[in-house]
C-alpha cells in the first residue's frame, strides 16, 4: 500500500515537471510553471523519504538539516543574483548536480571495491557512466562559471594543441574505465579513484579551450550531461522520479544546445573545437580606418518621437546596465504619441536563450511586442528607426558578406534594412566574437555612446520636452 502511494506521488511529481516545463516556454506562464515544477520536486523528495529500507539508519536529522542549509543557500543566491550573472548561477548549480551524481556513484563503487556489495555487469556499467558524466559535468561547469565571471582567462588554462591533450585524456579515461569494468571480479579501489581523477581532469580540460562566446552552449551541454547522470543514478537506485527528472533535464539540455547551435549556424563540433569568441580579428576588421557618425540626444529624440514605427534590439549591454525599465518608459512615451514600438529578439542575444525575454518581462513589456528574428527581419524595410541597445554580433552584417568572419553564416537581425539605425554602446569595442562590427560604419547608422541606463534616461528627458 505504501509503495503504491509513493508511486502515485511520483506520478504527480513527474506530471508537474512536464506541465511546468511546458509553461516555462512562455513568459506569461513561466512563473506558474516554475512554481509547479518546484511543487513536483518537493512532493517527490518527501515521498522518497518514506520508502521502506531494511536496516536503514535513522538519519532524518542529517537529511532535513542538509535540505535546510541547501535551501537557504539556494534562496539567498536566487534573490541576490543579477540577471547578467544568471548563466554563472546556472553553471554552479548544474556543476553541483553533477557532483552529487558522481558522489553517489563513487560511494557505491567504493563499497563494491571493499567487498561490501555485489554488482552485476549492468550495474557496474551504469555506475561507471554516472561517475564519468557527473565528474565531467562538475569540473566543466565550475570552469565555465570561472570564465563567465572573469576569474579565469583562456590563456591561463590552455596549452598549444589543446584538443590533442583532450583526446589523450579522453582515451586514458575510457581505457581505465574499460579496465575496471573488465576486471570486475577483482575490483581495486585505487583504479576507481584514478577513473574519478581522470574524469575530473577531463571535465576541466574539455571546457578550457572553448571561447567565451560559446560558453552558453557549453553550459547547456553540461546541463544535459548532469541530467543524464541523474537519470543513470535513478537506474542505480531504481528510483523512478530520479530517472524521469534526469531524462527531462538531459533532453531539455540537448534540445537547447541544438537550438543555440542552429541560431549561430554552427555544428556542435565546431563549437567545441572552433575557438569562436577568442578575440581573433578577421582580415576585414579595419574598423580603425573608418569613421563612425555620432548623433545627439536631441536629434535622436526628434527622430524617435516623429517616427511611425520603431524597433528596439536589446543585447547584453542593456542587461549589464539594468536599463530594461528605462527602455519601457521610453516605449510608453513614444507609444503615447502613436509610435508603433516593438522589440526584436535574437535567439542568442544576451548570455542565454530567453535572456532578453525575461529581462523585458521584468519591466512589464507586453509579450506581443516581442518579435522573433524572422518576424523582425520581415518588418525591417518598413521600419523608420531601429534602436540597437547593447547588441553587437547579432546585428553584424559580416554574417552575410564576409566569408572570413567568425560570424559568417550566422542568422542575424537585418537592422541595416531599416530607414535609420542608431546604436547605443559604451564604446567601439568588439563583441563576443572578437571582431569589429561593420554596422557601426554603415551609411544608415549613427552612434550614441554611453552607459545604456544613463543614456536612455537622458533620451527620455529629451522626448518629454517634445511631448510638452
Active site residues: 393
Residues 6+ apart with CB under 8 A from 105: 127, 128, 130, 131, 134, 232, 233, 236
Whats the size of the chain, residue-wise? 468
* Cβ neighbours, 10 Å, residue 188: 12
Q: At what angle do helices 121-148 and 162-182 cross, to 10 degrees?
A: 160
Angle in degrees, 0-180, between the axes of helices 2-23 and 30-49, rounded to the nearest 10 = 160
Query: In 3-state terms, what secondary structure has residue 340?
Result: strand
CA 163 from centre of chain: 23
Strands 385-389 and 309-314: parallel
Phi-psi region of 311 (alpha: psi -120 to 50; beta: other; left: phi over 0): beta
User: Which residue carries 571535465 as its cell?
Assistant: 203
And the C-alpha cell for 17? 515537471
314, β-bridge pairs: 389
DSSP class of residue 386 equals E
Q: Are 420 and 311 in contact (CB under 8 A)?
A: no
CB 340 within 8 A of CB 418: no
On whether the CB atoms of residues 424 and 296 are closer than 8 A, the answer is no
Note every long-range contact of 248-253, with CB atoms under 8 Å and residues 24 or more positions apart, other chains counting. Answer: 248/17, 248/18, 248/21, 249/223, 249/224, 250/224, 250/225, 250/226, 251/224, 251/227, 252/21, 252/223, 252/224, 252/227, 253/220, 253/221, 253/222, 253/223, 253/224, 253/225, 253/226, 253/227
Contact yes or no for 351/84 (Cβ under 8 A):
yes
Give me Rg for the CA atoms of the chain: 26
- Report yes or no: 278 and 362 within 8 Å, Cβ to Cβ: no
Q: Are 463 and 312 in contact (CB under 8 A)?
A: no
Amino acid at each position: 500500500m505504501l509503495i503504491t502511494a509513493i508511486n502515485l506521488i511520483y506520478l504527480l511529481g513527474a506530471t508537474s515537471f512536464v506541465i511546468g516545463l511546458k509553461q516555462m516556454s512562455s513568459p506569461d506562464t513561466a512563473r506558474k510553471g516554475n512554481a509547479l515544477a518546484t511543487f513536483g520536486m518537493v512532493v517527490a523528495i518527501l515521498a522518497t523519504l518514506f520508502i521502506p529500507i531494511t536496516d536503514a539508519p535513522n538519519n532524518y536529522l542529517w537529511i532535513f538539516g542538509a535540505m535546510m542549509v541547501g535551501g537557504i543557500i539556494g534562496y539567498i543566491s536566487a534573490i541576490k543574483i543579477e540577471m547578467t550573472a544568471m548563466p554563472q548561477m546556472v553553471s554552479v548549480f548544474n556543476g553541483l548536480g553533477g557532483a552529487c551524481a558522481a558522489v553517489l556513484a563513487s560511494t557505491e563503487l567504493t563499497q563494491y571495491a571493499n567487498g561490501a556489495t555485489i554488482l552485476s555487469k549492468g550495474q557496474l556499467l551504469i555506475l561507471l557512466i554516472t561517475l564519468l558524466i557527473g565528474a565531467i559535468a562538475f569540473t566543466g561547469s565550475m570552469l565555465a562559471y570561472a570564465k563567465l565571471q572573469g576569474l579565469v582567462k583562456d590563456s591561463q588554462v590552455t596549452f598549444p594543441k589543446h584538443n590533442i591533450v583532450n583526446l589523450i585524456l579522453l582515451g586514458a579515461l575510457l581505457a581505465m574505465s574499460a579496465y575496471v569494468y573488465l576486471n570486475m571480479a577483482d575490483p581495486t579501489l585505487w583504479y576507481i579513484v584514478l577513473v574519478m581523477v581522470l574524469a575530473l581532469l577531463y571535465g576541466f580540460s574539455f571546457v578550457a579551450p572553448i571561447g567565451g562566446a560559446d560558453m552558453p552552449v557549453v553550459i547547456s551541454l553540461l546541463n544535459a550531461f548532469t541530467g543524464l547522470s541523474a537519470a543513470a543514478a535513478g537506474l542505480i537506485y531504481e528510483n523512478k522520479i530520479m530517472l524521469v527528472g534526469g531524462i527531462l533535464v538531459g533532453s531539455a539540455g540537448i534540445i537547447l544546445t541544438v537550438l543555440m547551435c542552429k541560431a549561430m549556424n554552427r555544428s556542435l563540433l565546431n563549437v567545441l573545437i572552433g575557438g569562436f569568441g577568442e578575440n581573433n580579428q578577421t582580415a576585414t576588421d579595419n574598423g580603425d580606418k573608418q569613421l563612425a557618425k555620432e548623433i545627439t540626444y536631441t536629434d535622436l529624440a526628434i527622430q524617435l518621437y516623429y517616427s511611425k514605427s520603431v524597433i528596439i534590439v536589446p543585447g547584453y549591454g542593456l542587461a549589464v546596465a539594468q536599463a530594461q525599465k528605462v527602455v519601457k518608459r521610453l516605449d510608453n512615451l513614444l507609444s503615447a504619441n502613436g509610435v508603433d514600438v516593438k522589440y526584436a529578439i535574437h535567439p542568442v542575444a544576451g548570455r542565454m536563450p530567453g535572456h532578453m525575454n525575461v529581462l523585458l518581462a521584468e519591466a512589464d513589456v507586453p509579450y506581443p511586442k516581442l518579435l522573433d528574428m524572422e518576424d523582425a527581419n520581415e518588418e525591417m524595410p518598413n521600419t523608420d528607426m531601429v534602436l540597437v541597445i547593447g547588441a553587437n554580433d547579432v546585428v553584424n552584417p559580416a554574417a552575410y558578406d564576409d566569408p572570413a568572419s567568425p560570424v559568417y553564416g550566422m542568422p542575424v537581425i537585418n537592422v541595416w534594412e531599416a530607414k535609420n539605425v542608431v546604436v547605443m554602446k559604451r564604446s567601439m569595442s568588439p563583441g563576443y566574437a572578437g571582431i569589429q562590427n561593420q554596422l557601426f560604419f554603415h551609411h544608415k547608422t549613427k552612434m550614441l555612446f554611453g552607459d545604456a541606463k544613463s543614456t536612455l534616461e537622458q533620451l527620455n528627458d529629451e522626448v518629454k520636452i517634445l511631448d510638452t
